Structure 1
C-alpha cells in the first residue's frame, strides 16, 4: 500500500490466538515479519512489562529471553507498557530490548481521571527517556483520552525531548480518536496508529483513508495510498474473517459507544465482557424470578456494569483500564452487580489477581485506595506491598528446561520453543498434545452451525449445504469400520475439521475373511462430516464421511 512505516506483528493476543488455534506462534511470527523486513517496513510488538505476553507476571529470566527470541524472529520495535504506569515494570524491558538490539518504545497508558494529568504523564515520560527509550507511545487504549490533554502532553514531551519519536495509539470506541489524532499531530506527534477496513472503526482504530485525508488537508506530509493494493488487502482480510475469525467477533465490536466515556473500558475487551454478561444473565433472571422481581435485559446489565465500573474505579486507585487491569476492575464490578441484585453487599467476591493489584503486588496504583477497601484488606489479614513487583516472581527457566528435556522437546532455534513454554505454559502444552487444535475445530463447527440455525436453516439444510461442496469417501468393500489401526472398540473417528493428505490412512475395513483393508484419504482436505460409528457394518459404496477439498479451502 505504500503508507505504512511499521506494522504490528506480535504480542500477547497474537501468540495466544495461535496456540489456541493449535498452531506454532514462532512459525507465524517468522513468516509474518520476513516479507515486511525484506521491503524495509519495521515490525513492532506489544510487551505488557511485568506480564510479558500474558495476563499475569513473568519471571525476569523469561522476560529477558523474550527479547533475544523476538529479535531473532525479525521483530524491530517493542512497545512496552505497564497498566499502572509503574516505571519499575517498564524500565527492565527497556534494558532487555537495548541489549538484544531492539528499539524500546515506552508507552504511557492514557486514561481520564483527576490523577492522570499532563504533569503526571510528562514526569513518567522523563523517567522512561532517561532509562534509554528513544520513543514514547501515547497508548490511548480505550480512546477516552481528551484531545486537548493529549495535544498538551505531546507538546510537553516534544518541547523537552525534541529528538524523541512520539507515536499515538487511540481506539475509536467513544468517538474522540479523530479529534485526538489531529491534536497530537498539531503538537508534534510523528507516527499515528491506524487500521483498515473491514476491521477499522468501531472499537478499533480509525481507518487509514480517513486519517490520511484529514491530515493531508491540514497540511501534514502523509504518504499516498496505493488503492489497488488497499483493496486487495481489504479483500484478503475479509476472506480471513469469513473463514473463521468472524464467528468469534462480537457484532458490537463494530459499534462506537459514548457509554465508554464514563466507564473508561477499552473496546478490545467488549467481546469478552458481553460473553460474561450473557453467561450470567440467565442465572440472575432465575434468581429474580424466584423473588417475584422483574427480569433484566442484556442492555440493562450493560448499563449496570458500566455504572458499577465508574463507581468502583476511583475506590480501587484509578488503575488505567488496560490489560490486565481492565479485566480486574471489570471482574470486581461484575461481582458487585451480581451481589447487589441478590440483595447482598458489594466487595464480597474479589478474585486473587484483583487483590494482587489492590495490595500493590503488581505495582503502585496511581491514586489512593478508598478507606473501605483498605479496611477490607486488613480484615482479611492481607498485607500491602511496596517492593519492586519483579521480586515477587523468581527466575523459572531452569524448571521449564527440565520439562522440555523430560518430554524430549527441542528448545527450537534461538530457544524459541523453550520461550513459548515458559511464557504460555498451559496453552503450549495443549498445542503440543493436539488438544488445542481439536478444541478449536469443535468450537468453530459449533459456531458455524449456530450461525446457520440463527438464519433459520434446519439441521438437514445445513448437512445438505456442507455436502454440496464436499467429496464423499466411500467404503471400497463390505465390512466393519475401524477408525484406528488398534482395531479396538475405543477407537474414535476423526474430528470435524481434521485435515488429511492423500497418502494418509482414513480408516480400515474389517472384511468377512478376517483382513483389515486400509482406506486412504486419496486427496487433500478436511473432514466436515463423519457418517458412520466405530464398528459399524457397511456395504461397498456406502459413504463413510465427507471431506472438503484443499483447493476449495484455498
Structure 2
C-alpha cells in the first residue's frame, strides 16, 4: 500500500514571507472557498505569527479576520492551524502565562484546530506549558523544532529534543526549516529516528525555498516517514517563500506516494485572486527581490520569512553607511555589496552569540546586531557598540537557554556593563497581567468580546490595539499606502543636492515614533546650527518595548533635520545629519 502524503497550504506565511501585510477579512472570505475547491489540502495555515498584529496595524480587527477565514475550512473538514511562538505567543517579546493560556481558549473558539508551537531557542521549557494549555482548550498541540545547521544543531540534538517534546505530551512534531538550510539527508535521519520509536506521531515539514534545499528535503523527509508537507501557490511560491504544490505533488507521485489530485481550474482561480490582492494593496509592500532564491543564504542561515524586513533595513541604512565610509575616504558600497557584507557578518557573529536558531524573533536580533556592527565599523567604531535591550535579554538567558556557548568576548562585555546572567525558567520573569487589562477595559467601557477575544488581543498587542481602537492605526496605514501608490505612479525626482562630505547621519536604532525634546507643551525640533555635547539627549524613539533615547555620539552641530515630531521611523532611517 502506498504511503499517503497530505498537504497544508501555508496561506498566512506565503504573505508574511513576502512582505509586510496580509489580506483583509473580505479578501480571505473570497479565497477560502476557492482553496477548498482545489481539493488537495488537508490543512490550511490561517493565522498566528505576526498576522494578527499586522491586522491591527492597518486598522482591522484580527478576531473577525480569523473567524472569517477559519469558518469555511471548519465546515469543509479541512484542519486549520496557526503559528505560535511559545513564550512570545503572537508577538516579538515574552508574554505572561495567563495571556498565553487564554490564547488557546480564544483560538479554539475562533475555529483554529492546531497550534504549531515553537521556541526560537529550541528551549523545551518555553514550549511545554503551551502543549498543556492547547490540549486543555481542545486544540492539537504540534510541538516544533526550529531547524538550522551548525556544529551545535546535529541529528542527535534534534532527536533528543523530539523525545523531550513527546514526553511533554506533544501530539505532533513539526520540523520548521524556516531558513531552508536543513540538509536533506540530515532531516531524513531525524524523521526516521522519530518514526522508528513513535510511529503514531504525525510529522509535518515546513521548509522555505530561499537557498534551494527544500524540494530535496521534502523528498528525504517523506521517504523517512513524514506525513504532511507545507506548500504554497503562485504567485507567492518559490523565491524566499515555499515550494509550489504543483511541483511537490508531481514529485511525490513519481516517487510512488499516494497524493491528492489538484483541481487546476480552482488553482488558477486562487492564483488570480491572490494576484488581485497584491494589485489592490499588498503588492506595494512586497520587495521584488523576495521573489528570487539565493544560495548566499546557505552560509548565513537567515530565514526567508524575514527577508522583507531585512531588505527594508538595508535600504534605510545604505545611505548612512555610505555617508560614514565617504567621510573616512573609503569606497562606498552598492546594495549587493552591503547585502553580502551583512550575510558574512551574520555568519561571523552567530556562533559568538550562542548559535540561536535563526527564527523570529532571534533571527531579527542577530541580523540587527550584524547590521549595527557594520554601521559602527563604517564609522571606525568597534563591533558590539549598539546592542538593543531585547538582544541583551537573549544573551543573558532571559528568553531561554542558548543552544551553544557564548563567546568569552560577549561574556566579558556583559560583565563590563554590570549585567547578570539568568538561568531560571524564562516565564518566571513575566507576571500575570489579565486582571490589569480587565480593569482597564471596564474603565474605558470596552467590551471584552466574544470568548474574551478582545481582552486577549488587548493584552497581547497593547500598543497596536490602542491605536486600532483610536483609529490612529488606520489613519497611518492609509497615509503609508497613499505614499506607496504615489511613489509607484510617479518616477522619483532628480537626485537631491549632495550634502557636505563631513555630514554624518544619526540613525534610528529601533522602529517607532520619533519624539523630540519637549518644554512644557512646546515641542522643540532642533534647527540647523544647534549644538550638542557628546552624550546629550537628542531625541527618543517610542518603540514597542518602551522608550529608547538617542544621544549625541560626539560634540556636534545639527546640519539637517530629516524627521519631524511624531514621525514613524524604521530602524536605520536617518533622523538628522550632524557635523563636528
TM range (shorter): 0.7 to 0.9
**Higher RCO, 1 or 2 (CA under 8 Å, sep at least 6)?**
2
Q: Tell me what 2:128 maps to.
A: 91
Q: Deviations along 1:496-526, whole A, 9 cap, x unmatched?
A: xxxxxxxxxxxxxxxxxxxxxxxxxxxxxxx
Between 1:296-305 and 1:280-289, the stretch displaced more is: 280-289
Q: Distance in 2 between matches of 1:132 and 1:425?
A: 31
Q: Tell me what 2:413 maps to.
A: 376
Secondary structure at the residue paired with 1:168?
strand
Q: Distance in 2 between matches of 1:437 and 1:211?
A: 39
Secondary structure at the residue paired with 1:9?
strand
Q: Tell me what 2:309 maps to.
A: 272
Secondary structure at the residue paired with 2:490?
helix
Please provide the CA RMSD for this pair. Answer: 1.1
Q: Distance in 2 between matches of 1:293 and 1:203?
A: 33
1:32 matched to 2:57: no
Structure 1: runs of 5 or more not aligned: 457-554
Q: Which among 212, 230, 236 is matched to residue 199 of structure 1?
A: 236
Secondary structure at the residue paired with 1:454?
coil
Q: Tell me what 1:4 maps to.
A: 41
Q: Which among 91, 96, 99 is matched to residue 54 of structure 1?
A: 91
Q: Distance in 2 between matches of 1:352 and 1:455?
A: 37
Secondary structure at the residue paired with 2:231?
coil
Q: Distance in 1 between matches of 2:179 and 2:60?
A: 30
Q: Deviations along 1:440-492, whole A, 9 cap, x unmatched?
A: 11111110110111399xxxxxxxxxxxxxxxxxxxxxxxxxxxxxxxxxxxx
Q: Distance in 2 between matches of 1:184 and 1:289?
A: 50
1:67 matched to 2:104: yes
1:175 matched to 2:212: yes
Counterparts of 1:454-533 in structure 2 under 5 Å?
Answer: 454=491
Q: Tell me what 2:401 maps to.
A: 364
Q: Distance in 1 between matches of 2:329 and 2:128?
A: 56
Structure 2: runs of 5 or more not aligned: 1-37, 494-580
Q: Which among 422, 425, 442 is matched to residue 459 of structure 2?
A: 422
Q: Tell me what 1:19 maps to.
A: 56
Between 1:314-323 and 1:396-405, the stretch displaced more is: 396-405
Q: Distance in 2 between matches of 1:299 and 1:278?
A: 11
Q: Which among 318, 322, 345 is matched to residue 359 of structure 2?
A: 322
Q: Tell me what 1:399 maps to.
A: 436
What is the aligned residue count?
Answer: 457
Q: Tell me what 1:116 maps to.
A: 153
Secondary structure at the residue paired with 2:274?
helix
1:208 matched to 2:245: yes
1:337 matched to 2:365: no
Secondary structure at the residue paired with 2:144?
strand
1:84 to partner: Cα distance = 0.5
1:282 to partner: Cα distance = 1.0
Q: Distance in 1 between matches of 2:119 and 2:43?
A: 22
Q: Which among 350, 371, 382 is matched to residue 313 of structure 1?
A: 350
Q: Tell me what 2:560 maps to.
A: none
1:188 matched to 2:188: no
Moved over 6 A (4+): none
